[in-house]
Amino acid sequence: MGEVVVFRKRRGVELVMLIMGMGLAVAGYALVSLNVDGELPGDFYWGVGLYVAIGLAAHVVIRLRAPYADPLLFPLVYTLNGFGLAMIYRLDLGGSKRMHSAELQLTWTAISVAVFIAVLFLLKDHRKLQRFPYLMFLAGMAILMMPLLPVIGFENHGARIWIKLGPYSFQPAELAKIVLTVAFASYLVEKKDVLALAGARFLGIDLPRPRDLGPIIVMWLSSLAVLIFQKDLGTSLLFFGLFVMMLYVATERPSWPILGTLLFLGGAFVGWLTYGHVQTRVSAWLNPFANWDQNYQIIQGQFGMAWGGLFGTGWGLGRPNLTPLAKNDFIAAALGEELGVAGLMAIIVIYGVIVMRGLRTALTAREPFSKLLAAGLSFVFALQVFAIIGGVTRLLPLTGLTTPFVSQGGSSLVANYAMIALLLVVTHRVRRPRTAAEEPQQSLAHDTTQVIAVPSRAAQPRPEPTFGDTPLSADDPLPDQQDAEPTAAIPAPGGADEPTTALPTGTGAGAGAGADEPTTALPTGADPNEPTTALPTRSAPGDDRPLWRQP
Amino acid sequence: MSDLVVLALKLLFLALLWLFVLFVGNVIRTDMFGRKFATNEVGELQPVAELKKQKRRGTRPAKKVPSTLRITRGKQEGLTLPLGEGIKIGRAADCQLVLDDDYVSTRHAQIVRTDNGYVVEDLGSTNGTYVNNERISVSTPFGTADTLRIGRTLMVVEK
């Protein structure tokens, strides 16, 4: 008797956490209304009812489609989404005239959860995505570079990371991060052994071989292109960091992240020397107060968070509207102002837990693709949160990335929900009990397993396989088949002259020479010296493709 | 509302938010090591609760399914092996069925028992897994009427 560890389903836990999280978000919404207007809005119960119904619908689908999925991921992202809705509603109220972006955001939440449900229903096995690494890579790069196109791409607040189709604008980087993560994961599954080969040794670190530097150079140049032409450090950092980190996960060689960091710092330094807009960003980061007009947004964000202090002003009682774009880039500053450091830290901890659950899935996963995919998705999520909250709090130069699940914006919400759905599919498959199938060697040495002595093939006909009606048996050398074609089965010594078309394979000479030999079960191809009558190939005469390559 | 109520609600909200975070931490803690299962003599996993259920219902479902894998072609022709709850096929040492075949990947495929009989899943092999000469990409049912081909080895499932 041994012991094996199996994960529980834990859907009940998920429901409890979801209800708690939704309760917090609804409490935030109610507090905003009470603190600003002194009463609940007329459509309060409608809004709350919709929000709760969407969350419960997604929970039911997880129960049905991915019962072993991680119990924390969905409740946490839905709680963040609720905080985002409450804060957007609060910013709607705070302006000089009432706006309605919270309603729009709730609509986008419904659409995103519909996409989330669709991914859970359509994608039974994430390993299907493994098939086309290069196509996925090209598609991902095309999506990423879309904002550079002349008509649809446009520049907004200094960064060219948007495309506009009719009335809708969209940040393609959000979608590209999923596609490229899948592409990198499937590529690295194939290439990790080669990329792990050590080259020269320098300062105690095995450097990669120079010939293996191609992929990282390609990614470096693309990330520099994003930095220079799209003028966005965050997006550039996101994709290069993602690739370097996945290289590290795949190869387990510390030389890759060291090399990647050096390359990125070098590229960013050259960009800083050469391009004015990079210098503007850096000066806004290091000395925002030197130029009040240019850095108005970041300065207002700083004042807001300072005003909030440790416990914040309370929902609806601060003045986050003074910061331009508080609903998008600076929603973290708005939350920091009204919930204080205590609230913002709790939100960052929630982000951290989402990332941690993803990385834990990667650790639990057994196949390399699931491992790399889970690690890549969680890391790109972590990097995005780090880049935007780091930018708002002036740890890093400010970037135009969205705060996942919290900030206003449909494309970001849809893409992030799709990403969480993909991660849930991975966690479901990873945490599913595998029973004996995945446990170490135990059956072959066991006494219920036995090797049955196979009689000498020359002496006795091969035991007839019980293939039933499978197509393979059609060409088996069954006795009745040989009776039906006596010319093939009992050839004359001059068999080469006989018509041998009845034989399934082999050349005429080979068939004539081999037909009177005992049959063999080995599918040795169309070797004329071998007996070919027992070959189970279904190929046409003269077609010498081996069995295992047939479609 | 009075200032005192506003302050109390603000602090209450933050306290509940952190309580939520603590609950999250507790879920992580209880999830960390999963649940331990005893393995029975055949090496199959049986959670204690399900063992009890099976005793109540009898073990009919297990008897019905043909559960012996037989290699019908290949170097290990004639080898039979009980499928149990499922096996993994490949060349790695942790596979239950280690095939002596040059066209088999390290972890090639696995056969898993489901409620409706056995299914075959490809584990990202190089040369593919074929059921009835069709390359599979998703879980495919594998019954007595089907032939499984991995590399140059053919397998069927029998009673």
Q: How many CB pairs under 8 A join A and B?
A: 228
Whether A265 shows a pLDDT value over 80: the answer reads yes
Question: How many angstroms separate the CA atoms of A28 and A406, rounded?
Answer: 13
pLDDT in the model for residue A525: 42
pLDDT in the model for residue A53: 95
Q: Quick one: pLDDT band at residue A538, thresholds 50, 70, 90?
A: very low
Longest dimension (CA), chain A: 107
pLDDT in the model for residue A377: 93
The whole-chain average pLDDT of chain A stands at: 77
Question: How many angstroms separate the CA atoms of B38 and A125, rounded?
Answer: 29
- Structure confidence by residue, pLDDT tens digits, B99-126: 888 888 888 888 888 877 888 888 888 8
B133 and A470 in contact by Cβ < 8 A? yes
Whether A542 shows a pLDDT value over 90: the answer reads no
Among chain B residues, CA nearest to A76: B24
Per the listing, tokens 């030389």 go with: A255
How far A415 CA lies from chain B's nearest CA (Å)?
25
What percentage of chain A has pLDDT greater than the value 90?
Answer: 26
Q: Quick one: pLDDT band at residue A27, thresholds 50, 70, 90?
A: very high
- Structure confidence by residue, pLDDT tens digits, A228-249: 777 777 788 888 889 889 889 8
Question: How many angstroms separate the CA atoms of A433 and A546, rounded?
Answer: 38
Q: What is the DSSP letter of B93?
A: T
Question: How many angstroms separate the CA atoms of A444 and B80, rounded?
Answer: 10
Amino acid at A96: S
Highest-confidence range of A97-101, B7-11, B111-115, by mean pLDDT? B7-11
Which of B24, B100, B137, B158 is best to mutate for the A interface (most A CBs within 10 A)?
A: B24
ipTM of the complex: 0.73
Question: How many angstroms separate the CA atoms of B154 and A22, rounded?
Answer: 54
Whether A465 shows a pLDDT value over 70: the answer reads no
Among chain A residues, CA nearest to B73: A521
Task: State pTM to two decimals.
Answer: 0.67
Q: Identify which of A437, A450, A536 has the shortest CB distance to residue B110.
A: A437
pLDDT in the model for residue B65: 64
Question: How many angstroms separate the CA atoms of A69 and A116, rounded?
Answer: 14
Amino acid at B123: L
A128 and B45 in contact by Cβ < 8 A? no
Stretch A20-45: mean pLDDT: 89
CB A27 within 8 A of CB B16: yes
Longest dimension (CA), chain B: 85
How far B6 CA lies from chain A's nearest CA (Å)?
8
Q: Which of A56-70, A114-128, A473-487 has the lowest mean pLDDT?
A: A473-487
Identify all chain B residues contacting A24, using CB atoms and an 8 Å cutoff. 13, 16-17, 20
- Structure confidence by residue, pLDDT tens digits, A187-220: 888 877 777 666 666 666 666 776 677 777 888 8
pLDDT in the model for residue B14: 93
CA angle B149, B155, B157 (to 5 degrees): 130
Among chain B residues, CA nearest to A524: B152
- Structure confidence by residue, pLDDT tens digits, A166-191: 777 778 888 888 999 998 898 888 87
Amino acid at B17: L
Identify all chain A residues contacting B151, using CB atoms and an 8 Å cutoff. 548
